[in-house]
Amino acid sequence: MTALGSEQLLQTWERAQAHGPIERALVLLSQARTHWDRDRLRHVPLGQRDRCVLELREQLVGTRVQGHLRCPACGELLEFSVDLAQLLFAALPEHPSSPTVELAVRDYEVQARAPNSEDMALASCRHDVEAARGLLLRRCVLSARREGVAVEPSELPDEVVHEIGEAILREDPQAEVYLDLSCARCGAAVHSLFDAPAFVWGELDEMAETLLEEVEVLAREYGWREVDILAMTPTRRRRYMERCRDG
């Protein structure tokens, strides 16, 4: 994987901007793994996808992850700063694969696989949470039997569904990453899901807006073309911007 140049960064931003969260994540993944075809990208398990996106983020920004979130108890804005290594759990396999699990819960025997972006895209089109949950079960439960008799995924009791989810997370742990913070204002413990693609997209969006501002200012001030401005190193662009601000 190579770091994005300024022109590539803007192209990636432009492609992702027109899409919702799931497709944006796939655009980021396509930059992290340029040699994977689109169909392959859509079937990468969520945890492996997010690991790739965070590796891309390391190339773009570095290893320090800083941000903020709201305390759900009092609404206070909480800042966090963690090293990227704290958010990376499982090493990526050489080739993306969908982890499968086999488990026995009470008198049920189940085989299931980890969900991917295509599963989530289809589930997001359902009209409510229960309908989305049912679709994910139908797609991700490969087989289910009770005392040797096949049963539909929708017939599995909540206890079994919960155990399936836990088993999949053990195989694809990067799919759910949480930040643990404490609110200085009210003292509440905050356990918040870290959405890696959404976070990286937010940073990419800020970087793109900064680049566009630099292009606008330098083109107006010096008459340079966008392609030439983007070809400059970030250090040179910043120095020219400082000269513009200093008059």
Q: Is 168 helix (H, G, I), strand (E, B) or coil?
A: helix
Please give the C-alpha separations between residue 88 and each of 82, 142, 175, in angstroms, as whole numbers: 11, 28, 10
Contacts of 17 (CB under 8 A, 6+ apart): 205
Instruction: State the sign of the Cα–Cα–Cα–Cα dihedral 103, 105, 109, 114.
Output: negative
133: its two tokens:
């949950």
Q: What is the pTM of this model?
A: 0.92
Instruction: State the sign of the Cα–Cα–Cα–Cα dihedral 25, 70, 60, 222.
Output: positive
Distance CA 105, CA 68 (A): 40
Contacts of 78 (CB under 8 A, 6+ apart): 68, 69, 70, 71, 181, 183, 184, 190
Please give the C-alpha separations between residue 41 and each of 14, 30, 82, 115, 122, in angstroms, as whole numbers: 19, 7, 28, 13, 15
Q: Is 73 helix (H, G, I), strand (E, B) or coil?
A: coil
The closest alpha carbon to 183, from 66, 64, 68, 65, belongs to 68
The one-digit pLDDT tens for each residue of the chain (247 residues) are: 446 899 999 999 999 999 999 999 999 999 999 888 888 899 999 999 999 999 999 999 999 999 999 999 999 999 999 999 999 987 776 666 788 999 999 899 999 999 999 999 999 999 899 999 999 999 999 999 999 999 999 999 999 999 999 999 999 999 999 999 999 999 999 999 999 999 999 999 999 999 999 999 999 999 999 999 999 999 999 999 999 988 7
